[in-house]
Amino acid sequence: MMGRVTSGLMADYRPGSFLLSSPRRALLATGSQAVVTERDPEELAARVTKLLVDSDVPLAVGALPFDRAAAPHIVLPESVRWSGPVRPASLPSAPVAAGATVVPVPAPAEYERVVERAVQRLRAGELDKVVLARALRLHLPEPVRVAALLANLARDNASGFTYAVDLPGGRTLVGATPEMLLTRTGLSVEANPLAGSIPRHPDPERDRQAAQRLLSSAKDHEEHRVVVSAVVDALRPFCRSLHVPDQPSLVSTSAVWHLSTTVTGELADPDVSSLRLATALHPTPAVCGAPFEAARDTIAELEPFDRGFYAGAIGWCDADGDGQWVVGIRCAEIAERTMTLYAGAGIMPASRPRLELEETSAKFATLLRAMGMSIEAPSSAE
């Protein structure tokens, strides 16, 4: 049942809980009755559905990793609470941590070199798009106050999705993503791919100009087209009808402008759950690239870390198959006194390494601002 519109669920978050706050409502799930880790998409969806039908648990929550071959982490919680959307004004600004030592991985200049290598492959026709990420590893003198970080993220990103999901090994993935992977309600399904981005500017006129540059950018429109096409291709086998707008629209976070398309459809089979749809869609070219195999292999070769659950999917699915899943970006993986922030950029044949570095810096701003830290200035220095 929907509750009163307060910040109560956010205030009640404790380590080990699952939280997903959207512009419409917020979900807090606590405890664990069962954990499902089947790697096969059909087996995963079937197992979760059976557990839900056979229990009094209203829904399952969890995360899918970036790598389809890796184990998901889906939990049947002990308790579930819903509320209306969190009001940003009701959330006090809270200190998260201080005195962090920051290590970029890779160094900014190396990231630019990696992007240039990818651009050469793209121009040679080896692939159409690849998303290359970099990380900031923060070492802190005291444990991260996750609840405070969540409150800050929700306050600053009211139009997006703030989330925290418990991961194996005492880790927590925390973030505020602008991108919904999909929502299923009955036979209706909706996906909202974002691709093509430009950093925002504090000056209103320059910010407006940045948005217009994005709208007129052939490179960004092609990047967006690749992603939307892949989403449509993934949904088509499950849907009797699909509607795709002719042109993308503009959406924004506090740090970045994005090209956005909302794809809607009607499912052909009522037994196809939101979790099954999420495994079919994920990872989209918005976080991986295209063609899928070539992009995945390029990421594995060029990125100096395992993404884990970064660029994965976070969400919930109930016994009827309804649910919502979001793309796990603008996030950090937290383990006691360490945080690893991730940000990626879509690389196309026309990409310029310096601009892609600046884009990742803008995307780090979501977490850095919530941490109370200064926004990273892009630099080519080692």
Q: Which one from 110, 116, 129, 301 is the annotated catalytic residue?
A: 129
Cis peptide before 106 (omega within 30 of 0): yes
| H runs (alpha helix) in 290-352 | 292-302
Residue indicated by tokens 């706050």: 21
Q: Determine phi and psi for 8, rounding to 5 degrees.
A: -55, -45
The mean of the pLDDT values for the chain is 92
Residue 179 known to be catalytic? yes
Rounded-to-integer distance, Cα 379 and Cα 277, Å: 40
Q: Determine phi and psi for 292, rounding to 5 degrees.
A: -55, -55
Rounded-to-integer distance, Cα 351 and Cα 215, Å: 16
Residue 50 known to be catalytic? no
State mean pLDDT over 55-63.
Answer: 96
Do 131 and 197 contact (CB within 8 A), yes or no?
A: no
Q: Indicate if the pLDDT at residue 5 is higher than 80.
A: no
Residue 30 CB neighbours (<10 A): 18
Q: What amino acid occupies position 2?
A: M
Q: Indicate if the pLDDT at residue 277 is higher than 80.
A: yes
| H runs (alpha helix) in the chain | 8-11, 41-53, 108-123, 146-156, 204-215, 218-235, 274-281, 292-302, 353-371
State mean pLDDT over 193-217.
Answer: 95
Q: Strand, helix or coil at 255? A: coil
Do 200 and 362 contact (CB within 8 A), yes or no?
A: yes
pLDDT at 377: 44
State mean pLDDT over 284-302.
Answer: 96
Q: Encode pLDDT of 16-32 as tens digits.
A: 999 999 999 999 999 99
Do 348 and 118 contact (CB within 8 A), yes or no?
A: no
State mean pLDDT over 150-178.
Answer: 93
Q: Indicate if the pLDDT at residue 143 is higher than 60.
A: yes
pLDDT at 10: 81
Comparing CA positions, the residue from 136, 131, 147 lying closest to residue 179 is: 131
Q: Which one from 179, 223, 356, 359 is the annotated catalytic residue?
A: 179
211 vs 97 pLDDT, higher one: 211
State mean pLDDT over 46-51.
Answer: 97
pLDDT at 225: 95
Query: What separation in angstroms does the CA of 173 have from each of 18, 81, 177, 284, 297?
Result: 10, 20, 12, 20, 24
Rounded-to-integer distance, Cα 53 and Cα 1, Å: 19
pLDDT at 106: 98
Do 183 and 132 contact (CB within 8 A), yes or no?
A: no
Rounded-to-integer distance, Cα 105 and Cα 109, Å: 10
Confidence of residue 244 (pLDDT cuts 50, 70, 90): very high
Q: Indicate if the pLDDT at residue 380 is higher than 60.
A: no
Do 335 and 120 contact (CB within 8 A), yes or no?
A: no
Overall CATH class of domain 8-91+99-371: alpha beta
pLDDT at 375: 60
Q: Strand, helix or coil at 161? A: strand
Q: Indicate if the pLDDT at residue 198 is higher than 50.
A: yes
pLDDT at 97: 67
Q: Indicate if the pLDDT at residue 200 is higher than 50.
A: yes
Q: What percent of the chain has pLDDT over 70?
A: 93
Q: Quick check: pTM over 0.75?
A: yes
DSSP string, 40-101: SHHHHHHHHHHHHHTSS--EEEEEE-SSTTSPPEEEE-SEEEEESPPPGGGSPP-----S-E
pLDDT at 90: 56
Do 257 and 365 contact (CB within 8 A), yes or no?
A: no
Confidence of residue 7 (pLDDT cuts 50, 70, 90): low
Q: How many helices (H) and strands (E) does the chain have?
A: 9, 22
